[in-house]
């Protein structure tokens, strides 16, 4: 690090030297007094007219200061006015006179004495005074202000000006305590990365047979799946330094800064080899360059940074022990040059955990939490399908906070249940008071969902029903508990799922003879699922086996902007008709189910309205139409 410190010191000294020089020249120019050359005859006239303040006599020259308005001002420009504003002595005109050889000095001295003009035999020097008050003091103030500002901006007098320095964080071997034991639910991804760890520990094992470890490893997965944690675990297992930064930290408003930071990052990494460079959110600098050529030009700051990254990845040898890891949740927008062999030539998918993975993650995070006896993390894992590792960590933390708020000695199952409800549906809205009619509608709506879920053969069991408002718009919720992980769904299973979504709307129709706005989210999800069945899954006989969607151009790919529709108006009409027919058939089917169970629907809704939440045995009895006795309560 000594050469780098020397570079910083040289840069600082050069900066201060240039600033001092500029200040010196500027002040000398602004504060230099105006000097006028006048003839001897004019000088004698001024003496006789008492318009001289002071003179200095030398053998060859007379220098003096005339009274205001004694000499003609002449043309003045902006620089003269600025000098006069900065220098109050500019009102006294300074003049010089060249002595005439052979003229005796005694008569001139007598003339000066007669008019009482102060005179001396030498010209007074103001160099020291001007140097101290005009240059040294302002320069010292400027340096002091500069140092204070630089420390505030960048933590040091040189750091803020080093725009080309990488903003990475580096963790050495002592600071990295994360290992594969701290990562759960991504067993396949860990197995893929074991080879990287082994190479960093035993590089000769792979080089012996001429093998070459991949230069770059790209971690692909949805947000919260643990990509950054997995990268830190690789560095911790390999016991090597870990360079980490976000892709957005490369890019600044100044063109070329990002490229300089890439060069600086790789230079430091080579000095620390073996090590791992981890770039989070790679898509911030690695987006495809194909769509940028149609605008002002593709050579913006982001593109130059990407070009430099590609060049650096080509220019270093992975046998030296520098491994590049990156993470993104949008691999489809990355430039193809990044993904070719020799750069990020290995992609590791970090997917959301399955049931066993979620349970393992919960156990991992629950190690730091005091759990009450009888806590079943398997039930919590079953209640959280589709949750990522970060979501599960949040649930454990929320449960601990809720238990502490209630002054409990341990976290109970009810705390986990409430934490899941908070994450899924939002905070409980105690301030949102529903009218009696609204509570009645919501109770029948939610029990309609629950009754249909118990009536169709392929629906997940109902775990809890509540009419407590949560979040922004949820006035009630029906929670289903999957019994197993599902990766494929049949047509009948999808139709049953649509039936459960329509159960609340149909319940309102049967009980009140009219509908409310409470089913808008259910209808949206049901329509989306029905359209997928028709256009993507090939489950419509009229539409056939072809899939239909929007064709995205190269520019629109990954941008979130809809592309051109790739089918005709006639096909679009057929798709709309099939989606509507599927929804209407399912609606009629659900109406038939609930018509036969209308009495159960009404009684269960009244019980839900009374207790606000039904779960467990009480929910089972309510859905079975059994009467609620005091003992059951």
Query: Which among 349, 381, 405 is the end of a domain?
Result: 349
Answer yes or no: do 444 and 492 share one domain. yes
What confidence score (pLDDT) does residue 507 get?
A: 95
| Residue 152 located in a structural domain | no
pTM: 0.64
CA–CA distance from 100 to each of 60, 103, 515 (Å)?
A: 8, 6, 115
What confidence score (pLDDT) does residue 573 get?
A: 93
The residue among 618, 301, 629, 590 whose CA lies nearest residue 452 is 590
Exposure string (b/e) for 8-27, b if CB count within 10 Å is 16 or more?
A: beeebeeebeeebeeeeeeb
**DSSP reduced 3-state for 324:** strand
Answer yes or no: do 313 and 406 share one domain. no
What confidence score (pLDDT) does residue 505 get?
A: 94
Top pLDDT among 171 and 59 is at 59
Query: Which among 287, 318, 349 is the end of a domain?
Result: 349
Answer yes or no: do 209 and 67 share one domain. no
Top pLDDT among 251 and 527 is at 527
| Residue 217 located in a structural domain | yes
Handedness of CA 519, 525, 528, 533 (dihedral sign): negative
pLDDT at 500 over 70: yes
Answer yes or no: do 596 and 529 share one domain. yes
Beta strands in 83-176 (DSSP E): 93-98, 118-120, 169-171
- What's the rounded Cα separation, in Å, for the pair 173 and 175? 6
pLDDT at 240 over 90: no
pLDDT at 192 over 80: yes
pLDDT at 487 over 60: yes
**DSSP reduced 3-state for 278:** strand
| Residue 163 located in a structural domain | no
Identify the band that residue 21 occupies on the pLDDT scale cut at 50, 70 and 90.
confident
Mean pLDDT, rounded, for 162-191: 72
Q: Residue 123 gets which letter from DSSP?
A: P
Mean pLDDT, rounded, for 416-420: 88
pLDDT at 159 over 70: no
| Residue 146 located in a structural domain | no
> ∠16-21-27 over CA atoms, to 5°?
125
Mean pLDDT, rounded, for 438-452: 93
pLDDT at 250 over 80: no
CA–CA distance from 136 to each of 256, 415, 451 (Å)?
A: 36, 69, 88
What confidence score (pLDDT) does residue 527 get?
A: 96
| Residue 131 located in a structural domain | no
Answer yes or no: do 395 and 311 share one domain. no
Backbone dihedral region of 615: left (phi > 0), alpha (psi from -120 to 50 degrees) or beta?
beta
- Of all residues in the chain, the percent with pLDDT exceeding 90 is 23
Handedness of CA 136, 138, 141, 142 (dihedral sign): negative
Task: Give Cα 494 to chain centroid, integer Å.
Answer: 37
What confidence score (pLDDT) does residue 158 get?
A: 42
Give 139's contacts (C-beta < 8 A, 6+ positions apart). 19, 20, 23, 24
Give 150's contacts (C-beta < 8 A, 6+ positions apart). 156, 157, 158, 159, 160, 161
Query: Which among 349, 369, 401 is the end of a domain?
Result: 349
Answer yes or no: do 91 and 210 share one domain. no
Answer yes or no: do 307 and 334 share one domain. yes
Polymer length in residues for the chain: 633
Chain segment 362-388, per-residue pLDDT in tens: 999 998 899 999 888 988 888 888 888
Answer yes or no: do 220 and 326 share one domain. yes
Q: Is 617 a catalytic residue?
A: no
Cβ–Cβ < 8 Å for 265, 243: yes
Find the helix packing angle between 413-425 and 389-405, rounded to 10°: 120
Q: Which of 253-257, 327-331, 523-527, 538-542 has the lowest mean pLDDT?
A: 253-257
Counting beta carbons within 10 angstroms of the beta carbon of residue 387, is it exposed (0 to 12), middle (13 to 18) or buried (19 or more)? buried
Tell me, what CATH number does 374's domain have? 1.10.8.60
**Tokens linked to 154:** 């960048």
Identify the band that residue 607 occupies on the pLDDT scale cut at 50, 70 and 90.
very high
Q: Which of 66-70, 87-91, 265-269, 496-500 has the lowest mean pLDDT?
A: 87-91
Q: How many CA atoms lie within 13 A of 344 on its CB side?
A: 25
Answer yes or no: do 314 and 388 share one domain. no
Tell me, what CATH number does 78's domain have? 3.30.720.210
Q: Which of 23-27, 153-157, 301-305, 506-510 has the lowest mean pLDDT?
A: 153-157
Top pLDDT among 170 and 561 is at 170
What confidence score (pLDDT) does residue 564 get?
A: 60
Find the helix packing angle between 616-624 and 598-611, rounded to 10°: 150
Identify the band that residue 317 occupies on the pLDDT scale cut at 50, 70 and 90.
low
pLDDT at 539 over 90: yes
Identify the band that residue 88 occupies on the pLDDT scale cut at 50, 70 and 90.
very low
What confidence score (pLDDT) does residue 330 get?
A: 87
pLDDT at 396 over 90: yes
Answer yes or no: do 474 and 419 share one domain. no
- How many domains would you assign to the chain? 4
Mean pLDDT, rounded, for 591-614: 92
Q: How many CA atoms lie within 13 A of 609 on its CB side?
A: 18
Tell me, what CATH number does 308's domain have? 3.40.50.300
Answer yes or no: do 303 and 441 share one domain. no
Residue ranges making up the domain that contains 98: 32-124
Answer yes or no: do 371 and 330 share one domain. no
pLDDT at 453 over 50: yes
Tell me, what CATH number does 496's domain have? 1.20.58.760
pLDDT at 4 over 80: no
Mean pLDDT, rounded, for 505-534: 93
- What's the rounded Cα separation, in Å, for the pair 46 and 117? 11
- What's the rounded Cα separation, in Å, for the pair 429 and 448? 23
Cβ–Cβ < 8 Å for 31, 86: yes
- What's the rounded Cα separation, in Å, for the pair 537 and 130? 87
Which one of 237, 446, 495, 578 is the catalytic residue?
Answer: 446
| Residue 129 located in a structural domain | no
| DSSP letter for each residue of 423-485 | HHH-SB-TT-PPPHHHHHHHHHHHHHHHHHHHHSTTSPPEEEEE---BTTTBS-EEEE--SS-
The residue among 173, 304, 151, 143 whose CA lies nearest residue 235 is 173
| Residue 180 located in a structural domain | yes
| Residue 91 located in a structural domain | yes
């Amino acid at each position: 690090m000594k050469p780098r410190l020397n570079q910083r010191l040289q840069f600082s000294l050069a900066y201060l030297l240039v600033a001092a020089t500029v200040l010196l020249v500027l002040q000398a120019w602004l504060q230099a007094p105006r000097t006028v050359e006048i003839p001897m005859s004019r000088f004698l006239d001024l003496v006789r007219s008492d318009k001289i303040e002071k003179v200095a006599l030398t053998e060859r020259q007379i220098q003096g200061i005339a009274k205001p308005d004694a000499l003609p001002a002449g043309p003045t420009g902006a620089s003269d006015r600025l000098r006069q504003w900065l220098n109050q002595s500019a009102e006294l005109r300074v003049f010089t006179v060249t002595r005439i050889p052979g003229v005796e000095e005694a008569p001139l001295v007598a003339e000066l004495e007669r008019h009482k003009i102060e005179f001396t035999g030498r010209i007074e020097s103001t160099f020291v005074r001007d140097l101290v008050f005009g240059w040294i003091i302002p320069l010292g103030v400027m340096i002091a202000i500069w140092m204070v500002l630089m420390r505030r901006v960048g933590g040091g007098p040189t750091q803020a000006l080093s725009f080309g320095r990488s903003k990475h964080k580096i963790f050495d071997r002592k600071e990295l305590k994360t290992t594969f034991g701290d990562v759960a639910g991504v067993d396949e991804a860990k197995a893929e990365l074991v080879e990287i760890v082994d190479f960093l520990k035993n590089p000769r094992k792979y080089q012996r047979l001429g093998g070459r470890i991949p230069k770059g490893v790209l971690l692909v997965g949805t947000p919260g799946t643990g990509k950054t944690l997995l990268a830190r675990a690789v560095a911790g297992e390999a016991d090597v330094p870990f360079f980490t930064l976000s892709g957005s930290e490369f890019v600044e408003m100044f063109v070329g800064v990002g490229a300089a930071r890439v060069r600086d990052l790789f230079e430091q990494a080579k000095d620390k080899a073996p090590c791992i460079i981890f770039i989070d959110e790679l898509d911030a600098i690695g987006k495809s360059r194909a769509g940028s050529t149609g605008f002002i030009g593709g050579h913006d700051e982001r593109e130059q940074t990407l070009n430099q990254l590609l060049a650096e990845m080509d220019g270093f040898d992975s046998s030296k022990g520098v491994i590049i890891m990156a993470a993104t949740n949008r691999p489809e927008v990355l430039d193809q040059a990044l993904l070719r062999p020799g750069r990020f030539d290995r992609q590791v998918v970090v997917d959301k955990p399955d049931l066993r993975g979620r349970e393992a993650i919960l156990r991992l995070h629950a190690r730091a939490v005091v759990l009450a006896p009888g806590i079943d993390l398997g039930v919590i894992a079953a209640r959280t399908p589709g949750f990522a590792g970060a979501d599960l960590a949040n649930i454990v933390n929320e449960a601990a906070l809720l238990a502490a708020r209630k002054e409990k000695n341990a976290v109970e199952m009810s705390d986990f249940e409430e934490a899941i409800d908070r994450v899924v549906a939002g905070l409980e809205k105690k301030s949102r008071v529903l009218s009696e009619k609204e509570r009645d509608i919501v109770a029948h709506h939610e029990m309609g969902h629950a009754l249909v879920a118990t009536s169709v053969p392929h629906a997940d069991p109902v775990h809890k029903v509540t009419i407590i408002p949560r979040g922004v718009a949820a006035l009630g919720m029906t929670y289903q508990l999957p019994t197993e992980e599902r990766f494929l769904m049949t047509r009948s299973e999808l139709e049953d799922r649509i039936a459960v979504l329509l159960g609340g709307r149909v319940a309102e129709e049967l009980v009140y003879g009219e509908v409310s706005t409470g089913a808008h989210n259910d209808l949206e999800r049901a329509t989306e699922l029905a359209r997928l069945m028709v256009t993507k899954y090939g489950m419509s006989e009229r539409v056939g086996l072809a899939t239909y969607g929007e064709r995205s151009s190269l520019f629109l790919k990954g941008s979130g902007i809809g592309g051109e529709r790739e089918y005709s108006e006639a096909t679009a009409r057929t798709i709309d008709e099939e989606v509507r027919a599927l929804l209407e058939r399912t609606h009629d089917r659900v109406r038939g189910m609930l018509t036969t169970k209308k009495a159960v629907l009404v009684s269960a809704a009244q019980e839900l309205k009374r207790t606000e939440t039904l779960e467990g045995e009480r929910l089972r009895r309510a859905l079975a139409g059994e009467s609620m006795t005091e003992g059951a309560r």
